Amino acid sequence: MKRIHVGLAALCLSASAFAAEPFDDKFRQLEELLPSANQYRTASGAPGHAYWQQRADYTIRTTLDEANRALSGSGQVTYHNNSPDTLHYLWLQLDQNIYKPNSDARMTLTAPSREAWGRARSDEEGMKFEGLRGILAGRDFDGGFKIAAVKTAGGAPLKYTVNQTMMRIDLQQPLKPGEKFTFSIDWSYKINEQKVLGGRSGYEYFAEDKNALFEIAQWFPRMAAYYDVYGWQHKQFLGSGEFTLEFGDYDVQITVPADHIVASTGELQNPNEVLTATQRERLAKARTSKTPVVIVTQAEAEQAEKSVAKGTKTWHFKAKNVRDFAWASSRKFIWDAQGYKKDGTNVMAMSYYPKEGNPLWEKYSTAAIVHTIEQYNKYSFDYPYPTAISVNGPVGGMEYPMISFNGPRPVKDKKTGEITYTKRAKYGLIGVVIHEVGHNYYPMIINSDERQWTWMDEGLNTFVQSLAQEAWEENYPTGRGDPRFIVDYMRSKNQVPIMTNSESLLQFGNNAYAKPAAALNVLRETVLGRELFDYAFREYARRWKFKRPTPADFFRTMEDASGTDLDWFWRGWFYTTDAVDVSIDGITEYGVSTKNPEVEKAWKKAQHDGEPVSIIDQRNKGMVRKVDEQPHLKDFYNEHDDFTVTNADRNKFAEQTADLEQWEKDLLAQGKHLYLVDFSNLGGLVTPLVLQIELKSGKKYIERIPAEVWRYSPKKITKVIVTDEPLVSLVQDPNWETADIDQSNNAWPRKITPSRLELFKSRPAENMMKDFNTPLKQKDAKKE
């Protein structure tokens, strides 16, 4: 009866609480947001027993027309339908079509803001010469694929329809589950000048020696992905959402001017035809060298720049189980290489760069490739491909299987010819090589849907990049990874959740690179600890190697392998724009009363004596009082105050404690200090508490409290802290590891925030009369 009564009362209470404000359950499970598990993807985050993926094998012949900056090709695609579905058509990606003057990518461009366009507040915000040149040149450039033929293996024409950056091929017969279909396409396109038109590939022109360097990607019609979650992934390419692709084998023959050096995805099949005996010897030496061996020296490259070969050479490459294929070609290339072999990895790390990249590139590029593979292997799996390449050219940083394009270079003084490089260029180069080579793991092998989710490749990759940079040198200058770097962004206004489509992201770099990287560092250091995290993160990589994971597969695997419910973490960090902001609102001390009047009355007296003396008493000090003039007026009460212990008190204590068990008596005498600490969660994102407790003796220690402390009350909690000595200070997140956006409310007692006020001189008013009378400078005296 009683139980029922209590239950009813509780029910009424909670009902009225709901009416005021619905309970915000930060720990509600994610099932309502995640797709249901099925035979293709399990509830534990692993590929299911009926997991399938399509496959596309390519045989391509292509020719680079250097003089006309154009490429033509002919490719045969064998598409394997491993799905349980019958297909009536196939979709291919025609990424070059974003260079058509009327492409969606161009038509949907908007100005960043009216202010930035018309009245920029800084150089960075303003429109650059290059920006306006790009807009105008894009209107005139005759870019995009010219499709010459689409045919069956037998040569019969196939009906096809181009929809902007996508092409549909209608099949003569439906393609049934388990069947394959071979067809061929002939195409050509004009190559974009990357420094003018931008892009993830293109050529760079060097006016000094009149040569070009070609970085070639998105260069052939590629199969769009078809998979269990989305069907065909044929969302238009607008420029941000990268490429969702199928694995396959490639056999590619590239015809270029005879004096070019070609860097490419895959393994070279005909070194005897395209390399000199010396180059082949140097390559063999590089295989076991501990430092990079130069295959084409700078002197040889500079010699090659001086003339143009008449004939052509065809470089033949094959690549197994890759989702894409890219290459680069120039007579300007210096080339170095170093083998790396450990456990399941046996790779040739190679760099290709023009002389303009030195001395930076010969020192750091290949070294950074080897470092990347060493480090990424620790956190994911052994690098499985035979080569890993970094090419210096116009593209700032872009990844393809086995090959990446990286931009940073030294600067050459125009007058003196002196070559120097900035700190930013040095660490930018090491960082971008780590990042782009790291993309081999995410998403080239862990083949996530880039067109949909940028964070799944960029975020995970930036996270591992941060670990690799930490292993390069102490205090590596970086701005991403450590949670403290994400605080400004977390405070900013125009945000969308990480779980937003690639093309709709605001603050792209912060949203998809820096925030997930910071979140994973919080998960590793603060929530799970390194051991649990690293095991689960590796498990994700192992499960989804050469497969296509979705966000749910990542979230579920991290929970499944670490044995931790992290739904609150994904919900807060990935599905909202909440920030961590914990405030320590107040602390109350509770010493346990001993009940002993000798102790307790002395304690009360000490409290009383600790109170400030009344202003009246202060000013009355020294006043001659009646009882001092006439002491006979004093009695018992002038000698005893309220804190005198009486025999009655002692008897009462004896009576009270007579019935206590020994453990109860011990508890009264243990002398622990109890504190009630009020915390509020102002940012909305729940976080573990990391409490630095400082005691009276100066001793400091940290108590770590899991985020579940917020589960009953996500906005405000009261936590009991027990100490052996009086507490003198408490700091939440003393190491800045939780990305708390306001440290000023994290300490008790509060700390003063130090800052500096900069004073500026007032500017003199414009003096047109003085300017008018200023003598005109002579033309030849202008350059100082």
- Residue with smaller CB distance to Zn ion, 66 or 458: 458
Measured from the CB of residue 451, what is the shortest distance to Zn ion in angstroms?
14
Torsion of CA 38, 40, 45, 49, to 10 degrees: 100
Cis peptide before 359 (omega within 30 of 0): yes
Question: Exposed, middle or buried: residue 308 (CB in 10 Å: 0-12, 13-18, 19+)?
Answer: middle
Measured from the CB of residue 382, what is the shortest distance to Zn ion in angstroms?
21
Report the site for Zn ion in 450-479 (rule: CB under 5 A).
458
Q: Helices (H), strands (E): how many in the chain?
A: 25, 32
H or E stretch covering 183: strand 180-190
- What does the angle CA 45 – CA 50 – CA 51 come to, to the nearest 5 degrees? 55
Instruction: Give the whole-angstrom CA distance, residue 200 versus residue 111.
Output: 21
Backbone φ and ψ of 167, nearest 5°: -135, 130
Measured from the CB of residue 97, what is the shortest distance to Zn ion in angstroms?
23
Residue type, 381: F
Joined together, the tokens standing for residue 222 give 């590629």
- Residue with smaller CB distance to Zn ion, 335 or 463: 463
Measured from the CB of residue 328, what is the shortest distance to Zn ion in angstroms?
18
Three-state DSSP class for residue 775? coil
- Residue with smaller CB distance to Zn ion, 263 or 444: 444
Closest residue by Cα to residue 35 from 553, 424, 573, 635:
553
Instruction: Give the whole-angstrom CA distance, residue 176 versus residue 157.
Output: 21
Measured from the CB of residue 535, what is the shortest distance to Zn ion in angstroms?
25
- Residue with smaller CB distance to Zn ion, 458 or 581: 458
Instruction: Give the whole-angstrom CA distance, residue 600 versus residue 590.
Output: 13
Residue type, 679: F
Measured from the CB of residue 346, what is the shortest distance to Zn ion in angstroms?
25
Closest residue by Cα to residue 530 from 540, 518, 542, 522:
522
H or E stretch covering 105: helix 104-107
Joined together, the tokens standing for residue 504 give 């709709």
CA distances (Å), 140 to each of 195, 531, 539, in order?
Answer: 15, 56, 50
Joined together, the tokens standing for residue 351 give 């760099």
Instruction: Give the whole-angstrom CA distance, residue 158 versus residue 171.
Output: 7
- Residue with smaller CB distance to Zn ion, 75 or 516: 516
Instruction: Give the whole-angstrom CA distance, residue 521 versus residue 683.
Output: 19
Measured from the CB of residue 267, what is the shortest distance to Zn ion in angstroms?
25
Q: Which residues pair with 589 in a beta bridge?
A: 675
- Residue with smaller CB distance to Zn ion, 171 or 395: 395
Residues 6+ apart with CB under 8 A from 337: 282, 283, 286, 292, 293, 295, 348, 349, 350, 351, 366
Measured from the CB of residue 457, what is the shortest distance to Zn ion in angstroms?
7
Closest residue by Cα to residue 170 from 56, 88, 83:
88
- Residue with smaller CB distance to Zn ion, 486 or 730: 486
Residue 553 binds to Zn ion (criterion: CB under 5 A): no
- Residue with smaller CB distance to Zn ion, 268 or 512: 512
Cβ(460)–Cβ(514) below 8 Å: no
Bin 429: left if φ > 0, else alpha if -120 < ψ < 50, else beta: alpha
Measured from the CB of residue 460, what is the shortest distance to Zn ion in angstroms?
10
Instruction: Give the whole-angstrom CA distance, residue 112 versus residue 131.
Output: 12
- Residue with smaller CB distance to Zn ion, 100 or 200: 200
Measured from the CB of residue 161, what is the shortest distance to Zn ion in angstroms?
32
Measured from the CB of residue 670, what is the shortest distance to Zn ion in angstroms?
57
For 647, which DSSP code? H
Q: Which residues pair with 601 in a beta bridge?
A: none
Q: Which residue is nearest to Zn ion (CB)?
A: 458
Report the site for Zn ion in 122-181 (rule: CB under 5 A).
none
Count the neighbouring beta carbons within 10 Å of the beta carbon of residue 376.
Answer: 26
H or E stretch covering 302: helix 298-304
- Residue with smaller CB distance to Zn ion, 100 or 515: 515
Instruction: Give the whole-angstrom CA distance, residue 649 versus residue 655.
Output: 10
Measured from the CB of residue 435, what is the shortest distance to Zn ion in angstroms?
6
For 594, which DSSP code? -
Question: What is the total count of residues that contact Zn ion (CB under 5 A)?
Answer: 1
- Residue with smaller CB distance to Zn ion, 241 or 410: 241
Measured from the CB of residue 498, what is the shortest distance to Zn ion in angstroms?
15
Instruction: Give the whole-angstrom CA distance, residue 164 versus residue 236.
Output: 7
Count the neighbouring beta carbons within 10 Å of the beta carbon of residue 290.
Answer: 9
- Residue with smaller CB distance to Zn ion, 294 or 445: 445
Residue type, 162: V
- Residue with smaller CB distance to Zn ion, 464 or 566: 464
Measured from the CB of residue 397, what is the shortest distance to Zn ion in angstroms?
7
- Residue with smaller CB distance to Zn ion, 458 or 553: 458
Measured from the CB of residue 573, what is the shortest distance to Zn ion in angstroms?
20
Three-state DSSP class for residue 185? strand
Measured from the CB of residue 456, what is the shortest distance to Zn ion in angstroms?
11
Measured from the CB of residue 455, what is the shortest distance to Zn ion in angstroms?
11
Here's the x/- map for Zn ion, 401-440, by CB under 5 A: it reads as: ----------------------------------------
- Residue with smaller CB distance to Zn ion, 75 or 428: 428
- Residue with smaller CB distance to Zn ion, 392 or 461: 461
Q: What is the DSSP string of 501-533?
A: -GGG-SSHHIIIIIHHHHHHHHIIIIII-HHHH
Q: Please give the biggest Cα pair distance in the chain.
A: 131
- Residue with smaller CB distance to Zn ion, 52 or 405: 405
Measured from the CB of residue 439, what is the shortest distance to Zn ion in angstroms?
6
Residues 6+ apart with CB under 8 A from 370: 338, 340, 349
Strands 146-152 and 180-190, bridge-based pairing: antiparallel
- Residue with smaller CB distance to Zn ion, 457 or 578: 457
Residues near Zn ion (CB under 5 A) = 458
